[in-house]
Structure 1
Amino acid sequence: MADVVFFDLDGTLVDHRSAVLEAIGRIVRAAPNATAPPEELVASWWALEARHMREYLAGRCSFAEHHRRRLRSFLPMLGEPVPESPGLLDAWIAERYLPVFEESWRCYPDVQPCLEALGRLPRGPRLAVLTNGDPGQQRAKLARFGLLGYFEGVLTPTELGAAKPAAYAAACRLMRTDPAQAVNVGDMLESDVNAAARAGLTGIWLDRGVDFATGGPSPTADGAVLRIERLTDLPGRLPGTNT
């Protein structure tokens, strides 16, 4: 039996993509001076999120600054002026984006049944969340859905000093486990599964039928990849369990 199971959060436990699209969709549909159709603006916001999140994870800016950088590029597309003050950019995010984004968080229905089933396993594994997101925001998501109590830790780049993939080794050290005894479960085939395997963990791909980054069909995986379509399938697929 695995000693520790790490769970990705966005796209695995909570539907981050739908919340982003709902929040920014409301904003662009209400923008009278927008420079492009709503669907193009939504796609641009998503692309900017990915670009500036990578900068945050690389340590080139703070979490707040990654939002500001996104806005500096996006506001002209809305036909709005770009404030020079960082405080005004922060206020835009806090007042116009975050309320709808947070209101739109949804926990996948297979999450709690999976966690409860894992807790019933004889000599069941310890559980932790391993996410590249902001620690405060990620804990707020888990708290919203009553999930914090299932996990020994919520591990982010702030606690580990590194983002995925370097975070895998750091997370195993923090949890005092050997990577060979650890499992990582996530919806991103490369960063959650293949990268975890290269770090010595067992990667299990949660294929929810959609590519998190593009919204298109799931990527094609090598036949050797451990794949599940629902988290409720996980307890029977862990190393050391009978399938």
Structure 2
Amino acid sequence: MTPTPHQPLVPPMPAVTTVLFDIDNTLIPTRAIWQHALDAVATRLAGAHPGVSAAVIASTYVSTSDRLWGDYDRALAPLGSHTAARRHVWESALREAGIVLDERQLAAHVDDFAHRQMRAIRTVPAIVDAFRRLAAVYQLGVVTNGDADQQHAKLEQAGLERYFETVVCALGNGHRKPHPAPFHRACEDLAVRPEECLYVGDEWTADIVGARAAGLHPVWITPTGQPPPGSAPTTRFTSLASCLAALCDHAARRPIRETEPT
């Protein structure tokens, strides 16, 4: 059964001192923002290249992006920077769609795609207020598979960065989720044991399986409300808002921390 703000979280919350979060499609609706930006840039490109439709450009980019980012360590990491990786993905996709841009055009296009996504991130006052309330009681942190520059910028744009005492960005820094290393890095940063931490995320393998294997207590954000594919009991919510409501309900019954986050 999917928890509501009036049902207990698992484990018993008195044991929890720290709540960690994923970013993409957990704190920020990245997937919808990404798709909207992709549709816009594909339409613009199709207008400049009449022989290729926007639908072909978008679908080719999706398949190329999934393939290359899915093989990050071999296909993209050797390029040396995340900017170079993003350019390579777009260059590969456009070439497959029959479009060739020069270096200046390609760089401008990649920047436009990134800026469209960043500008679409909105501060949601109710979410910000929930984090303000949680930060008074719990240590808060982030564990993400993204790169540091973009992920910090996303949190800043959403008005949330000030509430997190650690932001662990795994891309380009060794192991990525579901490996336990980034989860344990966050625990070390905050001087807590894994069993004292909740971890809230949307991806079953990277977030839920990964957090549980690292010794944290996972909380699954699954908009469809689908049952977990694993057999272990899993606390789940259909939205970030409902999860934060439950956490704030528990926080209201806990003492304020002696030291406020800075």
TM-score (normalised: structure 1): 0.78
Q: Does 1:103 align with 2:119?
A: yes
Partner of 1:3: 17
Cα deviation for residue 160 of structure 1 reads 5.4
Cα deviation for residue 198 of structure 1 reads 1.2
Cα deviation for residue 39 of structure 1 reads 3.6
Partners of 2:91 and 2:241 lie apart in 1 by 42
CA contact (8 A) 2:124 2:158 kept: no
Partner of 2:95: 76
Partners of 2:125 and 2:58 lie apart in 1 by 26
Partners of 2:160 and 2:17 lie apart in 1 by 20
Cα deviation for residue 10 of structure 1 reads 0.9
Q: Does 1:171 align with 2:180?
A: no
Over 3 Å counting, the alpha-carbon distance change for 1:28 and 1:91 in structure 2 is closer
Over 3 Å counting, the alpha-carbon distance change for 1:119 and 1:68 in structure 2 is closer
Equivalent position SS for 2:223: coil
- Of 166, 170, 173, 1:157 maps to 170
Return 5+ residue gaps in structure 1 as ranges: 210-217
How many residues of Structure 1 are paired with residues of Structure 2 in the alignment? 227
Cα deviation for residue 88 of structure 1 reads 5.6
> Which deviates more, 163-172 or 100-109?
100-109
Give 1:3's aligned amino acid.
T
Give 2:238's aligned amino acid.
E
Structure 2 matches for 1:63-212, cutoff 5 A?
Answer: 63-83=82-102, 85=103, 89-94=106-111, 96-106=112-122, 111-119=127-135, 124-157=137-170, 161-166=174-179, 167-209=182-224
RMSD: 3.0
- Of 222, 236, 240, 1:227 maps to 236
Equivalent position SS for 1:234: helix
Cα deviation for residue 226 of structure 1 reads 1.0
Partners of 1:194 and 1:52 lie apart in 2 by 23
Cα deviation for residue 184 of structure 1 reads 0.9
Cα deviation for residue 12 of structure 1 reads 0.8
Which has more radius of gyration? Answer: 2
Cα deviation for residue 110 of structure 1 reads 5.8
Give 2:66's aligned amino acid.
A
Cα deviation for residue 38 of structure 1 reads 3.1
Equivalent position SS for 1:13: coil
Superposed CA offset, 1:86-121 (max 9, x none) = x66433312x3223222222456763243134235x
Cα deviation for residue 67 of structure 1 reads 0.8
Give 1:229's aligned amino acid.
T
Partners of 2:138 and 2:172 lie apart in 1 by 21
Give 1:17's aligned amino acid.
R
Over 3 Å counting, the alpha-carbon distance change for 1:116 and 1:237 in structure 2 is closer
Return 5+ residue gaps in structure 2 as ranges: 1-13, 254-262
Partner of 2:43: 29
Over 3 Å counting, the alpha-carbon distance change for 1:49 and 1:159 in structure 2 is closer
Partners of 2:227 and 2:92 lie apart in 1 by 33
